[in-house]
Structure 1
Amino acid sequence: MRNAWQVIVTAFSGYARHRCPQMAAAIAFYTIFSLAPTLLIVVAVADKVFRQREEGRTALIAQFEALVGPEGAAQVEAMMSRVSTNWGGLVPTIIGAATVFIGATAVFSQIRLALNVVMDAPTPPKVTLRTFWKVLETRLLSLAMVLAIAFLLLVSLALSAFLAGLSKWANSHLPIPINFLQVTNFVVPLLVITSLFAAMFKVLPGVKITWRDTWVGAFITALLFSLGKFLVGMYMGRSTTASVYGAAGSVIIILLWVYYSALIF
């Protein structure tokens, strides 16, 4: 019991010392600019892997609607539409592609920075040509994370659709308790989210973390993430936050959700 209490005290001490609330606010800020490009990459992966661009886009918007409400989902869809508008011409296409690349990787670069601060990673050296290549390497690593997360999200959506169909079939043909099906619908996405967090914990920081610590941290974070998704969904359903901020209400809702997610991360 004493050891558990010591772990809690140490965790909260480090939480305050490393200014985690400020780090979470920075991640939420970068997410607003990274959200549309990242989702475009997810949809592109869905098109290349599953040949289901529109289905992937619709499923993603449905997930956002369940999380932040119809107004927030509409805002996300509008952001995606603006970014994906045909640029036309070689130079605008290059600029547009670079914007998507920088936007999609910005939030993961900020997450990497936050994890390095929290884990007391070595301070980066002075700015040199080698530093420039290191920054480029970090961006490419972030892009790889975007692609990996895109694949995991699509797998999660596919599994959710499969489980929904299986549940409907099982309810009519098999004497399986409804509670069992509900638990299955919760556990499978939880495992996918745990894998997503484990990948970020293992790859992004500038320090080595054992797989045991990685999986434990990822599982706890995934549990808190799932709980937060449920609670934030309930709060947004009853809150007047969106109406108070008017036209910017949808963006504020997304910021609040990402801020909470970054805090538990």
Structure 2
Amino acid sequence: MSETTPAQRAQHGRIGNVSGVAVTAVRQFIADRCTTLSASIGFYAAFSLAPTLLIVLTVAGWFFGETAARGKLFAQVHDILGTEAAGAMQAVVENAHHASGGGLAAVLSTLLLVVGASATFSSLNTALDVIFAAKPQSGVAGLALIVRARLISFGLVLGVGFLLVVSLVLDTAITYVGQRIFGESPLVIAAQIAQTVLGIIVLSAAFTAMLRWLPDVHVPFRHALAGGIVSAVFFTVGRRLFGLYLAHAGTANSFGAAGSLAVLMMWLYFSAAVFLLGAEIAAAMDKNHQKPADKSPVVGEPRR
């Protein structure tokens, strides 16, 4: 019987590490009650959706035009949730846009807009602190963490707007180049694959940023990146499957007039669950790589 080489042993060790991280992540996903946390996040997201989308579209509109930004965003929503849900979401954003008024009402509306838009990210902050076992802080330190969470939450809302701009520009460029090179030939699927890969990259950047900065503890970048990529891939695949499910299951019709809201809540719940699974991957990687002699900040250690 031939002996294994060092390279083979290293490869087996890497495979074992990957499988160990996956198993740990799934177990902790259940132990941390991430399904319940996802439902909570979905609830907050549903009520902060209008201000969040309004700010995102405003930021994107500065660079690419508000009409183009809305067209891109709601086209994606239409592909996932269907015509009725996309129309309902668009109506909510329109109503929020015209409800600001003027003078003092406009100032108060803007403040409420900022607070409302950051509510979802604040609920994500709470869930991530559970996953990464953040130690609770009291007094001034605790207040500082609350303020930090709100500021970062609003910053991430603006960041999503910039990512939408990047996605719009690159998506348009890929479509144009694909049509110029392939025309109407079957090879145009290469451009579609490139668009899918681009979407995964943009989502990975967004999820990585949230995993890196939202928790009240230090999360190494490589672990946040791994969790972000896993979330982005699952999100992309799940988006296709969710669309197929809605097309054949008739879930929206079974809820009658509330069908659009039911579909939206289901999608927000799924999105939150996928993101928290990526967070569990990042937390499991950190636990797997921690060593007693390691002096670097680890999960559970507060930020300084």
TM-score for the superposition, normalised by structure 1: 0.91
Partner of 1:258, secondary structure, is: helix
Structure 1 vs Structure 2: percent identity of aligned residues?
32
Question: Which protein shows a greater Rg?
Answer: 2
| 2:199 counterpart (186, 189, 207) | 189
SS at match of 2:197: helix
Q: Please state how far the C-alpha of 1:207 moved relative to its aligned partner.
A: 1.4
Equivalents in 1 of 2:18, 2:53: separation in Å?
A: 40
2:266 is the alignment partner of 1:256: yes
State the shift of 1:131 in Å: 4.1
Cross-structure match for 2:3: none
Q: Against the structure 1 CA distance between its residues 6 and 55, is the aligned structure 2 distance closer, same or farther, given a 3 Å change threshold? A: closer
Q: Which amino acid aligns with 1:182?
A: Q
Report what 1:205 is aligned to.
215
Q: Deviation per CA, 1:99-141: give whole Å up to 9, x if none.
A: 211110000001111111001011132xx46644542332121
> Could you tell me how far apart the structure 1 residues matched to 2:143 and 2:161 are?
27
Match of 1:10 among 17, 24, 43: 24
Match of 2:168 in 1: 157
1:216 is aligned to: 226
How large is the Cα RMSD of the aligned pairs? 2.0
Aligned CA distance change for structure 1 residues 253 and 176 (closer, same or farther; 3 Å): closer
C-alpha change, 1:262 and 1:180, in structure 2 (3 Å) is same
Q: Secondary structure at the match of 2:133?
A: coil
Q: Does the alignment pair 1:241 with 2:255?
A: no
Q: Verify: 1:114 aligned to 2:124, yes or no.
A: no
> What are the Cα deviations for residues 129-154 of structure 1, in whole angstroms up to 9, with x where unaligned?
66445423321211000001111022
Distance in 2 (CA, whole Å) between partners of 1:90 and 1:181 is: 48
Question: Measured at CA, do residues 244 and 209 of structure 1 come closer, stay the same or move farther in structure 2, by a change above 3 Å?
Answer: same
CA 19–91 in structure 1, closer or farther in 2 if over 3 Å, else same = same
Give SS of 1:208's match: coil
Q: Specify which of 168, 178, 184 is matched with residue 179 of structure 2.
A: 168
Q: Which residue of 44, 59, 66 maps to 1:45? A: 59
**Alpha carbons of structure 1 residues 42 and 2: separation in structure 2 relative to 1, 3 Å:** closer
Tell me what 2:103 maps to: 90
Contact persistence 1:170–1:176 (CA under 8 A): no
Structure 1 spans left out of the alignment, 5+ residues: none
1:31 has 2:45 as partner: yes
Contact in 1 for aligned 2:38/2:273 (Cα 8 Å):
yes
Cα–Cα, structure 1 residues 170 and 105, in superposed 2: closer, same or farther, change >3 Å? same
Shift in Å at residue 194 of structure 1? Answer: 0.7
Q: 2:124 matched to 1:137?
A: no
Preserved CA contact (<8 Å) 2:42 2:268: yes
2:51/2:96 contact within 8 Å kept: yes
What is the number of residues matched between the two proteins? 261
Flag structure 2 segments of 5+ consecutive residues without an equivalent.
1-14, 276-304
Between 1:67-76 and 1:161-170, the stretch displaced more is 161-170
Q: Contact 1:190–1:226 at 8 Å: present in 2 too? A: yes
Please say if residues 100 and 110 of structure 2, whose CA atoms lie closer than 8 Å, have aligned partners that are also in contact: no
1:47-66 correspondence runs (5 A): 47-50=61-64, 52-66=65-79
Change (3 A) 1:130 1:259: same
The letter of the residue matching 1:118 is: I
Q: 1:17, CA displacement in angstroms?
A: 1.6
Deviation readout 1:31-80 (Å, 9 max, x if unpaired)? 11111111111121122233x01221122111111110010100101110
Q: What letter corresponds to residue 218 of structure 1 in structure 2?
A: G
Q: 1:182–1:86: structure 2 CA closer, same or farther, 3 Å change rule?
A: closer
Mapped pair 1:228 → 2:238 = yes
Q: Which amino acid aligns with 1:99?
A: L
